[in-house]
Amino acid sequence: MTFISKFNTAMAGAVVGGCLAVAATTASAAELRGWNIHVEDYPVSIAMESFMAEVAEKTGGEVTGKIYHNGVLGNQPDAIEQIRLGVIDFGEFSLGPMGQSVPETNVVSLPFIFKSIPQMYKLMDGEVGAAIGEGMMAKGMVPLGWYDAGARSFYNSKTPINTPADVTGLKVRVMSNDLFVKMVESMDGNATPMAFGEVYQSIKTGVVDGAENNPPSYESTNHFEVAKYYSLTEHLIIPECLCMSLKTWEKMTPEQQAILKEAGQKSANLQRELWQAREAASMEKVQAGGTIVNTIADKAPFQAAMAPVYDSFLAANPDLTDLVNMIRNAD
Ligand code: BDP
């Protein structure tokens, strides 16, 4: 891949009548390919578009890109591998399915690890995010901004969930990561890892009874039409990442890298704002569409039921104990 940055010096003085004469070189500029699983009006999608527009503007058209929304470039676990290989240049991923390739990201897939969304922001923007980012870099991905995905709760077509016992026997779709399988099994539910795009049909046909997700995803996928009980367990707060393939990153000049980082951070701020509004709008929409929402006054029984997930995780990953404790002991 050749970037026109090489021509920067040659072009620097080429101002003709007040306009940069870039036409001759834009043809050799690579257009980055961006992966996104969400629909176009989703907060993630809008923030990604604003990131790409900003990068194109700030690099004077040297770095441009096209974002492929709706998962058309493939499902999430595959796309993560493709980013690592440099087949896809950048993408926006949940850290949930990233755990299979980057062990550090599993720490934020542990149930109830963050105490709140503001705490998640604070820790991801600090030492915890830095440690996870290093793990990602080691596996070929460069984080450019941490996005918000709220809290995930269970929904299904059978019954409201008020206690862990209500999950017993339910067939629940989970994201592809053994941790989530264990999480559902800790309540004697039957967990099925499955691609996001297959969930609607699977609930509709009874292959699974339900799944778990945040309100915007429950709404944007129309899962609420086929699983009307939404029980606010809020058991997972999993941050997401706008990230670039290390292979693509290494082809950038230091100036372009600085622009990418800044634009990534700026897009994360925008995404977090948009997220709040979308969450409220999604809750309204699903309730208007017939969803029966129940809140869980006491989440302690869920925390207790899911505790074995921590035990087996730490036994298998003793080197991540400090990172887990850094979050658990944070205010
Ligand atoms: C959504 C995430 C998306 C995941 C999806 C899922 O934003 O990245 O693919 O959940 O459950 O909340 O697969």
- Class level of CATH domain 13-148+238-280: alpha beta
- CATH match of 152-236+282-314 with 3.40.190.170: yes
Q: 246-285: per-residue pLDDT in tens?
A: 999 999 999 999 999 999 999 999 999 999 999 999 999 9
Q: Residue 196 Cα, ligand 1 centroid: separation in angstroms?
A: 7
CATH topology match: 13-148+238-280 vs 152-236+282-314:
yes
Could you give the strand order of the β-sheet that contains 64-68, starting from the edge strand earlier in sequence?
64-68, 31-35, 90-94, 240-245, 141-147
- Assessment of whether the complete model's pTM goes beyond 0.85: yes
Contacts of 18 (CB under 8 A, 6+ apart): none
Of 36, 76, 179, 221, the one to substitute when testing ligand 1's pocket (max ligand atoms within 8 A of C-beta) is: 76
For a ligand 1 pocket test, name from 196, 198, 203, 275 the mutation site with the most ligand atoms within 8 angstroms of its C-beta: 196
Q: Is the pLDDT of residue 23 over 60?
A: no
Collapsed DSSP state (helix, strand, coil) of residue 272: helix
CA distance 45 to 67: 8
Domain ranges, ordered by start, for the chain: 13-148+238-280, 152-236+282-314
Sign of CA dihedral 285, 286, 287, 290: positive
Distance 30 CA to ligand 1 centre (A): 29
Closest by alpha carbon to 250, among 113, 110, 86, 109? 86
Structure confidence by residue, pLDDT tens digits, 180-220: 999 999 999 999 999 999 999 999 999 999 999 999 999 99
pLDDT of residue 18: 39
Q: Are 108 and 238 in contact (CB under 8 A)?
A: yes
